[in-house]
Amino acid sequence: MAGSGSVCYAHVLGMQRGPWRMIVLIRLLWTVGFLVGTTTHTMGLVAGGWLPYTYAPLWMNAYWTSLTLLDPVTAILLWTRPAYGVWLGIAVMVTDVAINSYGAYGRGYDFFYALQLQSLFGGFVLGSAPILLRRAHILAHAGEISKAARS
Protein backbone atom coordinates (compact mmCIF):
# COMPACT_ATOMS: atom_id res chain seq x y z
CA MET A 1 0.00 0.00 0.00
CA ALA A 2 2.91 2.33 0.59
CA GLY A 3 3.42 4.70 -2.29
CA SER A 4 0.29 3.56 -4.10
CA GLY A 5 -1.57 6.79 -3.37
CA SER A 6 -4.68 4.99 -2.14
CA VAL A 7 -5.77 3.62 1.18
CA CYS A 8 -7.88 0.50 1.45
CA TYR A 9 -10.92 1.18 3.65
CA ALA A 10 -10.71 -2.34 5.06
CA HIS A 11 -7.18 -1.68 6.30
CA VAL A 12 -7.98 1.77 7.70
CA LEU A 13 -11.12 0.52 9.42
CA GLY A 14 -9.44 -2.52 10.91
CA MET A 15 -11.52 -5.01 8.93
CA GLN A 16 -10.16 -7.81 6.86
CA ARG A 17 -10.80 -7.61 3.14
CA GLY A 18 -13.23 -10.57 3.13
CA PRO A 19 -15.83 -9.01 5.46
CA TRP A 20 -15.42 -5.62 3.76
CA ARG A 21 -16.07 -7.17 0.36
CA MET A 22 -19.10 -9.01 1.73
CA ILE A 23 -20.56 -5.73 3.03
CA VAL A 24 -20.02 -4.04 -0.33
CA LEU A 25 -21.59 -7.03 -2.12
CA ILE A 26 -24.63 -6.96 0.19
CA ARG A 27 -25.12 -3.22 -0.41
CA LEU A 28 -24.76 -3.74 -4.18
CA LEU A 29 -27.39 -6.50 -4.14
CA TRP A 30 -29.74 -4.33 -2.08
CA THR A 31 -29.15 -1.46 -4.50
CA VAL A 32 -29.91 -3.60 -7.54
CA GLY A 33 -33.06 -4.95 -5.89
CA PHE A 34 -34.40 -1.52 -4.99
CA LEU A 35 -33.53 -0.15 -8.43
CA VAL A 36 -35.46 -3.04 -10.01
CA GLY A 37 -38.41 -1.91 -7.89
CA THR A 38 -37.84 1.68 -9.00
CA THR A 39 -37.89 0.59 -12.64
CA THR A 40 -41.04 -1.49 -12.18
CA HIS A 41 -42.99 1.33 -10.54
CA THR A 42 -41.66 3.95 -12.95
CA MET A 43 -42.83 1.81 -15.89
CA GLY A 44 -46.25 1.65 -14.24
CA LEU A 45 -46.35 5.46 -13.98
CA VAL A 46 -45.23 5.91 -17.58
CA ALA A 47 -47.80 3.42 -18.88
CA GLY A 48 -50.72 4.35 -16.64
CA GLY A 49 -50.11 7.87 -15.36
CA TRP A 50 -50.46 8.97 -11.76
CA LEU A 51 -51.86 6.21 -9.51
CA PRO A 52 -51.73 3.66 -12.34
CA TYR A 53 -52.93 0.61 -10.41
CA THR A 54 -56.62 1.35 -10.91
CA TYR A 55 -57.66 -2.25 -10.21
CA ALA A 56 -56.51 -1.85 -6.60
CA PRO A 57 -58.05 0.13 -3.74
CA LEU A 58 -56.74 3.69 -3.45
CA TRP A 59 -54.54 2.94 -0.43
CA MET A 60 -52.74 0.11 -2.29
CA ASN A 61 -52.46 2.21 -5.45
CA ALA A 62 -50.99 5.11 -3.46
CA TYR A 63 -48.54 2.82 -1.65
CA TRP A 64 -47.30 1.19 -4.85
CA THR A 65 -46.98 4.60 -6.52
CA SER A 66 -45.00 5.91 -3.52
CA LEU A 67 -42.45 3.14 -4.09
CA THR A 68 -41.37 5.05 -7.20
CA LEU A 69 -39.75 7.47 -4.73
CA LEU A 70 -39.06 5.21 -1.72
CA ASP A 71 -37.11 2.56 -3.65
CA PRO A 72 -34.45 4.89 -5.12
CA VAL A 73 -34.22 6.86 -1.86
CA THR A 74 -33.45 3.58 -0.10
CA ALA A 75 -30.73 2.78 -2.65
CA ILE A 76 -29.16 6.23 -2.24
CA LEU A 77 -29.30 6.15 1.55
CA LEU A 78 -27.55 2.76 1.62
CA TRP A 79 -24.45 4.54 0.32
CA THR A 80 -24.83 7.98 1.91
CA ARG A 81 -26.51 7.28 5.29
CA PRO A 82 -26.25 3.49 5.64
CA ALA A 83 -28.24 3.03 8.86
CA TYR A 84 -31.15 5.08 7.50
CA GLY A 85 -30.99 3.13 4.23
CA VAL A 86 -31.09 -0.20 6.03
CA TRP A 87 -34.05 0.78 8.23
CA LEU A 88 -35.95 2.25 5.27
CA GLY A 89 -35.17 -0.86 3.23
CA ILE A 90 -36.54 -3.08 5.99
CA ALA A 91 -39.70 -0.98 6.24
CA VAL A 92 -40.23 -0.98 2.48
CA MET A 93 -39.74 -4.71 2.08
CA VAL A 94 -41.86 -5.75 5.06
CA THR A 95 -44.75 -3.51 4.02
CA ASP A 96 -44.44 -4.28 0.31
CA VAL A 97 -44.39 -8.06 0.78
CA ALA A 98 -47.31 -7.81 3.23
CA ILE A 99 -49.39 -5.63 0.89
CA ASN A 100 -48.54 -7.72 -2.17
CA SER A 101 -49.37 -10.91 -0.23
CA TYR A 102 -52.75 -9.44 0.61
CA GLY A 103 -53.18 -8.53 -3.07
CA ALA A 104 -52.25 -12.02 -4.24
CA TYR A 105 -54.01 -14.10 -1.61
CA GLY A 106 -56.73 -11.79 -0.30
CA ARG A 107 -57.80 -10.05 -3.49
CA GLY A 108 -56.74 -12.61 -6.10
CA TYR A 109 -54.33 -10.40 -8.08
CA ASP A 110 -52.25 -12.42 -10.50
CA PHE A 111 -48.69 -11.70 -9.42
CA PHE A 112 -47.88 -14.89 -7.55
CA TYR A 113 -44.45 -15.47 -9.18
CA ALA A 114 -43.37 -11.86 -8.79
CA LEU A 115 -44.40 -12.08 -5.14
CA GLN A 116 -42.21 -15.15 -4.66
CA LEU A 117 -39.17 -13.33 -6.07
CA GLN A 118 -39.97 -10.28 -3.98
CA SER A 119 -40.32 -12.45 -0.88
CA LEU A 120 -36.93 -13.99 -1.61
CA PHE A 121 -35.38 -10.52 -1.86
CA GLY A 122 -37.25 -9.47 1.30
CA GLY A 123 -35.78 -12.45 3.14
CA PHE A 124 -32.32 -11.47 1.95
CA VAL A 125 -32.89 -7.89 3.14
CA LEU A 126 -34.06 -9.03 6.57
CA GLY A 127 -31.31 -11.62 6.88
CA SER A 128 -28.48 -9.31 5.85
CA ALA A 129 -29.72 -6.16 7.62
CA PRO A 130 -27.99 -6.99 10.94
CA ILE A 131 -24.65 -7.31 9.12
CA LEU A 132 -25.08 -3.88 7.56
CA LEU A 133 -26.35 -2.29 10.76
CA ARG A 134 -23.33 -3.54 12.73
CA ARG A 135 -21.09 -1.71 10.27
CA ALA A 136 -23.35 1.26 9.46
CA HIS A 137 -21.47 3.74 11.65
CA ILE A 138 -18.19 2.72 10.01
CA LEU A 139 -19.64 2.86 6.50
CA ALA A 140 -21.08 6.32 7.13
CA HIS A 141 -17.66 7.70 8.07
CA ALA A 142 -15.42 5.64 5.79
CA GLY A 143 -14.49 8.62 3.62
CA GLU A 144 -13.57 10.76 6.63
CA ILE A 145 -11.51 7.98 8.18
CA SER A 146 -9.69 7.39 4.90
CA LYS A 147 -8.82 11.08 4.56
CA ALA A 148 -7.52 11.18 8.13
CA ALA A 149 -5.34 8.12 7.49
CA ARG A 150 -3.75 9.77 4.45
CA SER A 151 -2.73 12.92 6.31
Q: Write down the domain spans for the chain.
A: 9-150
Q: How far apart are CA 145 and CA 122, in angstroms?
A: 32
DSSP alpha helix (H) spans, 17-57: 17-48
> One digit per residue, pLDDT tens: the chain, 151 residues?
444 444 455 454 455 566 889 999 999 999 999 999 999 999 999 999 999 999 999 999 999 999 999 999 999 999 999 999 999 999 999 999 999 999 999 999 999 999 999 999 999 999 999 999 998 877 666 655 445 445 5
Task: Tell me the whole-structure pTM to 2 decimals.
Answer: 0.81
Q: Are 124 and 27 in contact (CB under 8 A)?
A: no
| Counts for the chain of helices (H) and strands (E), in that order | 6, 0
Cα dist from 124 to 27, 110, 113, whole Å: 11, 24, 17
Q: How far apart are CA 147 and CA 151, in angstroms?
A: 7
